[in-house]
Amino acid sequence: MNFHPTPVELVGAYVILNAAVQSMEAPTTESSPFYTFFYKFMSLLIIDFKSFSAPKVPAVTATQSVSQTSTVSASASQSGVL
């Protein structure tokens, strides 16, 4: 007996694999090299480039960058640079 999956079954299997990989926690600096490789490899297989290329260091949020800019502008204006 041969098993030939239908396109609907293939898409269903891909969706389940995609959900399983996206539910994995992103590797941190304390993660083992194997887990980091496994996470990136699985993200690459399911074509999830957002997770594959995610940086290990958290990004600066918009509110943090605005508050830092305000602090720099305030200190520059007090010193007479602006």
Helix, strand and coil percent figures for the chain, each rounded to 5: 60, 0, 40
Residue 44 has a pLDDT of 85
Residue 69 has a pLDDT of 53
C-alpha count within 13 angstroms, C-beta hemisphere, residue 81: 8
pTM: 0.53
- Domain boundaries along the sequence of the chain: 7-78
Span 37-81, pLDDT tens digits: 998 888 888 887 666 666 665 555 556 555 555 555 555 555 555
Span 6-18, pLDDT tens digits: 999 999 999 999 8
Span 23-43, pLDDT tens digits: 889 888 898 999 989 988 888
